[in-house]
Amino acid sequence: MGLVVQKYGGSSVADAEGIKRVAKRIVEAKKNGHQVVVVVSAMGDTTDELIDLAAQVSPIPAGREFDMLLTAGERISMALLAMAIKNLGHEAQSFTGSQAGVITDSVHNKARIIDVTPGRIQQSVDAGNIAIVAGFQGVSQDKKDITTLGRGGSDTTAVALAAALNAEVCEIYTDVDGVFTADPRVVKKARKIEWISFEDMLELASSGSKVLLHRCVEYARRYNIPIHVRSSFSGLKGTWVSNEPQGDQPMEQAIISGVAHDTSEAKVTVVGVPDKPGEAATIFRAIADAEINIDMVVQNVSAASTGLTDISFTLPKTEGRKAIAALEKTKAGIGFDSLRYDDQIAKISLVGAGMKTNPGVTATFFEALSDAGVNIELISTSEIRISVVTRADDVNEAVRAVHTAFGLDTDSDEAVVYGGTGR
Amino acid sequence: MGLVVQKYGGSSVADAEGIKRVAKRIVEAKKNGHQVVVVVSAMGDTTDELIDLAAQVSPIPAGREFDMLLTAGERISMALLAMAIKNLGHEAQSFTGSQAGVITDSVHNKARIIDVTPGRIQQSVDAGNIAIVAGFQGVSQDKKDITTLGRGGSDTTAVALAAALNAEVCEIYTDVDGVFTADPRVVKKARKIEWISFEDMLELASSGSKVLLHRCVEYARRYNIPIHVRSSFSGLKGTWVSNEPQGDQPMEQAIISGVAHDTSEAKVTVVGVPDKPGEAATIFRAIADAEINIDMVVQNVSAASTGLTDISFTLPKTEGRKAIAALEKTKAGIGFDSLRYDDQIAKISLVGAGMKTNPGVTATFFEALSDAGVNIELISTSEIRISVVTRADDVNEAVRAVHTAFGLDTDSDEAVVYGGTGR
């Protein structure tokens, strides 16, 4: 048996009871003969409480100090978890990100991992210990300052350690049973996916699925580390994310992996743009200079009569105000008519590598939306994804309709036209 | 102007308001032209809360992990303090004990400092920053594990850094105005001491005065670092502890520095010990083997008729049960009559280097107790201290009587026989 890396999120270690439950699970893996390295997040609301404290002493906390503050959270959870494991009669040692060799750049609050030198961790597990590592944190290569990895940082720590330690698998324990064919809160008949490729998982992650973040999956793909996403509460098998199915996993990938939705974006439309070279470039340069990441971009065919076109794009709602301000400044130069801003939209995405070779997927997708009375406002596609923008009010109905149309509902008998069901 | 080290305790940084108040005080020192290094404890009850969490996951938390846990407390306070200072427009950087170069042995929960290599701190202040250092913590020399220094650890961190950085002074900010001639809660007329020698302060600290711990004063004496104990709330001048008075401090030391009392001890009497060589050694070897520190030891002259004597000693109440158990085991070998255990005692100590050369101090001390109707049960003296054990119920009255008798009361007109008043 080889080495496994397990990661437990804040909701799994929200209180002393949670820590003791997780400790038992970790000890089981050790008893099964594995070397075990555990990455743990801060307990429950700890991080939010620390952020609140920071806001009380400074309106804009400095990055270096903010990271120093936040990393106290994992320090608490990892030490408690090590104690709980030792209390079960097994040896455990906790390590900060720095001690674990998580080397990052110097961009505080969203540092990137540039190297992992896990010598102390390897030594610790070779000596028979369970090693507990603080997620979300590292130490900067040049200044030796404490850094944090930003959103999804603990998952990324886990995958990075798994890669550096040549782990068999990186198990991401969370509060849901795995990755589903749609958000189970919206689609009651959503099905747990047993295996999904890195590529499809990446598309789901960037289309609004929140179980795994894009960054962590990307890292796992680059180093080919199988991820097993599962619940720390239920003990059930979860979802495997990997290059190829392994063991008793289904050998054939589904045509459609799942339906994701995202209501965190807004739509900006630049109306009446002169249809000549360079205008679109000017618009998106202005957006880029404001350091705003955009998602979908659509340009209509220009009306022959006017020579004017409309350009629409989506972006995080939180960036809306900044984008409009940046565009207003370009108005004189470009000479467009007006700007429209709409934050009552939803994006619905269908993801699956199988759609590349299966004609008719797009038609079925649009038919399902049409039958449900949902209007499509924007369309964008990749090789393995189709995304549409609809009214925010329509999102739940739209997701359910598409989920059913592609035979993803868990009760249906191996389904309609595109019967690959993800199992 | 040189470098000053300031230390703020948990009560000074109990909440966001406290942190902002302390930040202002630190910035003042910087504005006055000093290089400033700040040592800070965990906020208010943080440490107790962490200890409580540990108890919930493990009845006997492992030392290494317990230290990892507790050090999260200072990490929070130091980062917040640095943020608050930066918010006032001054540069600040926080450092863990490890980053600050506080190197210790490997005895978790009560590590001893064996070296301080403050290169990063010196660099930081030379670059114009205020350096904030986590108190109470270090890193072990051999294993590179996080350690804590035990009780009074933050004060010791401050003095050790002051020594390593050749600081002008180590300012210990606390919630009282300084060191008093007696506990002001007991003696309303207690007087703040303006200057006291290391030696007298050491005796006061080991006699029950709680403002400074023995360990920190001992460190300061060894490296000759003047300590200024003062309030973080009032801004008043406090008490200087040093080898020699400096500047406008009183040039002559008082005959009597103060009266300390201690109600945390118990008394054990071994009754009817055969008065022959080796019996006392056997008794105290048994106590030492149980790793119990004792304080006063008194042996009566043996009664000529019986050849038996009584041996009494005091020890922390918390060790009482263990001591009795250890002594019971020696009973057969020694052949003493019985053991008496009494935890309703108080120790009252009079401290002052002047008593060496002033005859009559002992007589005045005993007369004062006698006049107050307080019975003396044990007596023990050093060159600069007289201690007696009395009933616990008598302690307040006894302290007040002695304080008055030596002219220490703040209203009295330069006092009676021993007029040196500590100013």
- The predicted-structure confidence for A40-80, as pLDDT tens digits, reads as follows 999 999 999 999 999 999 988 889 999 999 999 999 999 99
CB-defined contacts A:B, below 8 A: 114
Would the CB atoms of A76 and B93 count as touching at under 8 Å?
no
- pLDDT for B108 equals 94
- pLDDT for A252 equals 63
- pLDDT for A245 equals 81
- The predicted-structure confidence for B39-88, as pLDDT tens digits, reads as follows 999 999 999 999 999 999 998 888 999 999 999 999 999 999 999 999 99
Q: What is the mean pLDDT of residues A10-30?
A: 96
Q: What is the mean pLDDT of residues A131-152?
A: 94
With a CB-CB cutoff of 8 Å, which residues 268-307 of chain A face chain B? Answer: none
Would the CB atoms of B82 and A65 count as touching at under 8 Å?
yes
Chain A: residue whose CA lies nearest to B80 = A54
Chain A: residue whose CA lies nearest to B72 = A72
The reply, when asked if residue A211 is annotated as ligand binding, is yes
Would the CB atoms of B57 and A92 count as touching at under 8 Å?
no
* Weakly modelled stretches of chain B, pLDDT under 50: 412-423
Confidence band for A423, pLDDT divided at 50, 70 and 90: very low
- The pLDDT mean for chain A works out to 90
Please tell me which of the candidates A56, A61, A83 has its beta carbon nearest to residue B58: A83
Which of the following CATH numbers is that of domain B3-252: 3.20.20.80, 3.30.830.10, 3.40.630.30, 3.40.1160.10? 3.40.1160.10
- pLDDT for A354 equals 84
Would the CB atoms of B84 and A58 count as touching at under 8 Å?
yes
pTM of the model: 0.84
Would the CB atoms of B57 and A94 count as touching at under 8 Å?
no
Q: What is the 3-state secondary structure (H, E, C) of chain B?
A: CCEEEEEECCCCCCCHHHHHHHHHHHHHHHHCCCEEEEEECCCCCHHHHHHHHHHHHCCCCCHHHHHHHHCHHHHHHHHHHHHHHHHCCCCEEEECCCCCCEEECCCCCCCCEEEECCHHHHHHHHCCCEEEEECCEEEECCCCCEEECCCCHHHHHHHHHHHHCCCCEEEEEECCCCCECCCCCCCCCCCECCEEEHHHHHHHHHCCCCCCCHHHHHHHHHHCCCEEEEECCCCCCCEEEECCCCCCCCCCCCCCCEEEEECCEEEEEEEEEECCCCHHHHHHHHHHHCCCCCCCEEECCCECCCCEEEEEEEEEHHHHHHHHHHHHCCHHHHCCCEEEEECCEEEEEEECHHHHCCCCHHHHHHHHHHHCCCCCCEEEEECCEEEEEEEHHHHHHHHHHHHHHCCCCCCCCCCCCCCCCCC
* A355: pLDDT strictly greater than 90: no
- Looking at the complex, does the CB of residue B83 fall below 8 Å from at least one CB of chain A? yes
Q: Which residues of B touch A144 (CB under 8 A)?
A: 99, 120
Are A93 and A124 in contact by the 8 Å Cβ rule? The answer is yes
The reply, when asked if residue A9 is annotated as ligand binding, is yes
- Looking at the complex, does the CB of residue A26 fall below 8 Å from at least one CB of chain B? no
Q: Which residues of B touch A81 (CB under 8 A)?
A: 57
Would the CB atoms of B64 and A144 count as touching at under 8 Å?
no
Please tell me which of the candidates A16, A23, A69 has its beta carbon nearest to residue B76: A69
Q: Which residues of B touch A79 (CB under 8 A)?
A: 54, 65-66, 68-69, 72
Chain B: residue whose CA lies nearest to A13 = B57
Are B148 and B107 in contact by the 8 Å Cβ rule? The answer is no
Residue list for the binding site of B for ATP: 7-10, 174-175, 185, 210-211
Distance from CA of A153 to the nearest CA of B (A): 19
Please tell me which of the candidates B58, B65, B75 has its beta carbon nearest to residue A94: B65
Confidence band for A280, pLDDT divided at 50, 70 and 90: confident
- pLDDT for B298 equals 84
ipTM of predicted assembly, 2 dp: 0.80
Residue list for the binding site of B for substrate: 47, 74
- pLDDT for B113 equals 95
Sheet holding B113-116, edge to edge: B113-116, B102-104, B137-140, B146-148
Q: Superfamily assignment of A3-175 in CATH?
A: Acetylglutamate kinase-like (3.40.1160.10)
- pLDDT for A412 equals 45
Interface test with A, best of B17, B24, B50, B76 (most A CBs within 10 A): B76
With a CB-CB cutoff of 8 Å, which residues 332-361 of chain A face chain B? Answer: none
Residue list for the binding site of B: 7-10, 47, 74, 174-175, 185, 210-211
Q: What is the mean pLDDT of residues A293-310?
A: 82
Please tell me which of the candidates A65, A75, A96 has its beta carbon nearest to residue B83: A65
Q: Which residues of A touch B96 (CB under 8 A)?
A: 146
What's domain A249-423's architecture?
A: 2-Layer Sandwich (3.30)
C-alpha dist (Å) from residue A86 to A20, A90, A91, A323, B374: 11, 5, 5, 53, 52
Chain A: residue whose CA lies nearest to B54 = A80
- Looking at the complex, does the CB of residue A137 fall below 8 Å from at least one CB of chain B? no
Are A317 and A324 in contact by the 8 Å Cβ rule? The answer is no
* A150: pLDDT strictly greater than 70: yes
Q: Where are the domains of chain B?
A: 3-252
Would the CB atoms of A82 and B62 count as touching at under 8 Å?
yes
